[in-house]
Amino acid sequence: MDGAAALPKVSVQREDFDLGAEQARLAGTSRDIGAIVSFTGLVREITGQGAIESMELEHWPGRTEKALAEIVAEAEARWPLNGVRAIHRYGRLAPGDRIVLVLTASRHRQAAFDAAAFLMDYLKIQAPFWKKETGPEGGRWVDARDADETAAARWRTASEG
Amino acid sequence: MDGAAALPKVSVQREDFDLGAEQARLAGTSRDIGAIVSFTGLVREITGQGAIESMELEHWPGRTEKALAEIVAEAEARWPLNGVRAIHRYGRLAPGDRIVLVLTASRHRQAAFDAAAFLMDYLKIQAPFWKKETGPEGGRWVDARDADETAAARWRTASEG
Amino acid sequence: MHVLYFAWMRERVGYATEEIDPGAARTARELVETLKTRSEGHAAAFEDLRAVRCAVDEEMGDLDMPIAGAREVAFFPPVTGG
Amino acid sequence: MHVLYFAWMRERVGYATEEIDPGAARTARELVETLKTRSEGHAAAFEDLRAVRCAVDEEMGDLDMPIAGAREVAFFPPVTGG
């Protein structure tokens, strides 16, 4: 894998990321990858409280990286992955900005799709990030969505039920 | 959308594609996209017939583009998409080369994930491409996989059953 | 009538397209019976019809599709793209 | 014992961390009862416990987690990343 093992699987950073470069790095010189799925999450302008001007992402330094690493390890235990990468930004973001990237590589497409969806579902409920939106009426902390609990629960049913 | 409507949704081409550039083009200046999913399919070296040297992708010019456009239109009818893009290569490819790219953009992640998986499942059984692998024992046409029919069938059950 | 062949069917027939008179053939399957007699290559291409798909005027379907009035019939193995 | 607050709990308390003596508190929930009395901000932060999650020495759990011997307890609202 030409040193691919040395690539970080998880990053929590203020800076933006480059999808093309990250995917190229993940694929490396492998000839055994048949499928790569990426998920990019972006800041939407229109939210529950109308048009926002910006968003501030708070996190728990140290614990966040650990949470992402745990979720990545769980995905690697569940699916045969040739590679996996998760990047989550924090700090001040504007509408249209990228927030999160998840990349999964596997021999076959179903494993890559499922692992990427799993990573996003678990990240949503387990990684210690909190969003505060700033709109015309000031700042407002985003409420957690019941739908995110439901989305994550389907993976528990699939593996334990 | 700053002319985004003029971007082609479907391309069948000999040339490689650039994931980062394609995703940037799809997102454009939108502030309404919350999720973008990409799927990249690659040529694997080890296949059913051992290590291959190259692969030749034949297609049906004209009809292929029509098939991809039909699948894209079906995805747009099923999910609320802000954008969708499908690129499929033909001609001679080597292990590690990219074959296909599917990109879906939506407000929420589930629609983007589902639409991308649907596009790939349908493309696999409906787009007129045929793969011929060349290995140590010569050329061999790749057999269609029953698993691809099964994968596509789940979308029929979900919508009609 | 224009007939197209793809992938290993094209290789077995020896060429990608030909013009033929469908005669009394009313379906793709009946057309196959005529085509099989044209050469050993044709016979080999149509040897196992379970592995043959077709399209009449670019409309995908099975071998029982009617071909009356069609300009073009295409024969090919199950697709393997993606 | 080190106590951490995040997001709107941090804002209501007025700061992100504090050192406290847990006294006789055996669980995070019992610790909350002590913390609530420290200021109006603390009381506001813990006003609706259904909206409060916690972690003891970085182990996520519910308010009934034991805190005996813990170096650190964190309180935060449900997470909203991704």
> By the CB < 8 Å criterion, does C6 face chain B?
yes
Reported as type and span, the H/E element at residue D44 is helix D40-45
Q: Please name the residues in contact with A93: beta carbons below 8 A apart, sequence gap of 6 or more.
A: A43, A54, A55, A56, A57, A99
Q: Residue B39 CA to chain centroid, in angstroms?
A: 7
Q: Which residue of B has its CA nearest to C55?
A: B63
- DSSP-based three-state secondary structure for B42: strand
ipTM comes to 0.94
Q: Give me the mean pLDDT over the D37-57 stretch.
A: 97
Q: For residue B161, what pLDDT is reported?
A: 38
Q: What is the pLDDT of residues D65-76, one digit of tens each?
A: 999 999 999 999
Q: How many CA atoms lie within 13 A of B55 on its CB side?
A: 29
Q: What is the pTM of this model?
A: 0.95
Q: For residue B50, what pLDDT is reported?
A: 85
Whether the per-residue pLDDT at A151 is higher than 80: the answer is yes
Q: For residue A158, what pLDDT is reported?
A: 60
Q: What is the pLDDT of residues B62-115, one digit of tens each?
A: 999 999 999 999 999 999 999 999 999 999 999 999 999 999 999 999 999 999
Q: Which of C58, C62, C74 is nearest to C18 (CA)?
A: C74
Q: Please name the residues in contact with B97: beta carbons below 8 A apart, sequence gap of 6 or more.
A: B16, B42, B43, B89
Within 8 A of C58 by CB-CB distance, chain B residues are: 62-63, 66
Q: Give me the mean pLDDT over the D22-51 stretch.
A: 97
Q: For residue A30, what pLDDT is reported?
A: 95
> By the CB < 8 Å criterion, does A89 face chain D?
no
Q: What is the pLDDT of residues D5-24, one digit of tens each?
A: 999 999 999 999 999 999 99
> Would you call D7 and A60 a contact, using CB atoms and an 8 Å cutoff?
no
Higher pLDDT, A55 or A161: A55
State the pairing for strand pair D2-5/D72-76: parallel
Of B31, B38, B44, the CB nearest to A37: B38
- DSSP-based three-state secondary structure for B15: coil
Q: Give me the mean pLDDT over the C45-54 stretch.
A: 96
Q: For residue B159, what pLDDT is reported?
A: 53
The nearest CA of chain A is from the CA of B72 a distance in Å of: 18
State the pairing for strand pair D72-76/B46-47: unpaired
The nearest CA of chain B is from the CA of A155 a distance in Å of: 14
Whether the per-residue pLDDT at B35 is higher than 90: the answer is yes
- Token look-up 């990409």 returns B38
Report d(CA D59, CA C62) in Å as an integer. 59
